[in-house]
Amino acid sequence: MKATSPAEVLMDYEVFLLARIKEEWDRTGDAVASVPAGIARSAPLVTAAAAILAASFAAYATGRVVFLQQLGVGMALTVAVDATLIRGVLVPALMRLAGPANWWAPAPLRRLRRRLSVSEYET
Three state DSSP letters for 96-111: HHHHHHHHCCCHHHHH
Helix (H) or strand (E) holding 45: helix 31-58
Q: Tens digits of per-residue pLDDT, 42-53?
A: 888 888 888 998
Average pLDDT, the chain: 85
What pLDDT, on the 0 to 100 scale, is given for residue 60? 92
| Confidence at residue 120, expressed as pLDDT on a 0 to 100 scale | 63
5-27 mean pLDDT: 76
Residues 68-84: tens digit of each pLDDT: 999 999 999 999 998 88
Predicted local confidence at residue 77, as pLDDT: 94
What share of the chain in percent tops pLDDT 90? 34
- DSSP, res 117: T
